[in-house]
Amino acid sequence: MSTKISFDGVGHTFPIRGSHDRLTALEDIDLDIADGEFAVLVGPSGCGKSTLLDLLAGLSAPSSGRILLNGEPVSGPGVDRGIVFQQYALLPWRTAQGNVEFGLEATGVPKRERAERAREYLELVDLAAFADRHPHELSGGMKQRVAIARSLAYDPDVLLMDEPFAALDAQTRESLQDELRRIWRRTGKTVVFITHGIDEAVYLGQRVAVLTSRPGRIKSIVEVDLDREAADDIRSTPEFAQHRHEIWSLLHDEVVRAQEQEKEAVSA
């Protein structure tokens, strides 16, 4: 399968307030993601996951190294990448339909086609019946489905998801995980998904990249090899538990180190 995204020696630093030093958030990230792959990034708090996604989204430029999308350096945001954040970022004064159409307005899709396409993507996330509702009339899970529909409606190549289900209750999260896998299989998009949840990573990812504590580096990449047809409840199988434990073990030391870093930062 062809490579869709390449992180090639990517590093990123931020200025530290009141100091001439800089904080190294990411260091020497090398990672290739294939066209159509579902890649998950996990790592301790503050290790640079969101920074990595922002760089891929083109919201900022890496301090070192380069990021290639379809072989071309990322030089800014583009409609080839859809982003879904933890917070829904929906426009409160627009209906679900209006929110999905909003993404299409910027891309110059004619009005009638916008309405049709928004309808189609609301159907894809099972929300056609709620097209006329405003965000305050929707549950958290529904809002996040609208956000996913909005990102998919302008047909990006790549879907970037930064802890999109973190604010949801456990049942809603699991049903959205199923829905996302179904959408991914149906659309063939490349997905880069950030999470704190090990179960979520194993359930969703074809590969899970585990990052170190700050500065974030790739510690290990775990291939998730599950026979999803074999069990109704895949999360309770021994294979699932084995993958879960492998990632947990890789993360454990990094989380301890990240907590120490946090304590040092508070007492500095």
Contacts with ligand ATP by CB under 6 A lie at 14, 23, 25, 43, 45-51, 214
Least distance in Å: CB of 145 to ligand ATP? 22
- For residue 190, which of 65, 49, 31 has the smallest C-alpha distance? 31
**Residue 23 or residue 231: which is nearer to ligand ATP going by CB?**
23
- DSSP of 92-113: TTS-HHHHHHHHHHTTT--HHH
d(CA 184, CA 73): 25
**Residue 14 or residue 73: which is nearer to ligand ATP going by CB?**
14
d(CA 7, CA 31): 5
Helix (H, G, I), strand (E, B) or coil at 216: strand
**Residue 46 or residue 98: which is nearer to ligand ATP going by CB?**
46
**Count of CB atoms situated within 10 Å of the CB of 62:** 23
Q: Would you say how long the chain is, in residues?
A: 268
Least distance in Å: CB of 115 to ligand ATP? 36
Between strands 38-42 and 190-195, the pairing is parallel
Least distance in Å: CB of 139 to ligand ATP? 24
**Residue 122 or residue 210: which is nearer to ligand ATP going by CB?**
210
Least distance in Å: CB of 181 to ligand ATP? 23
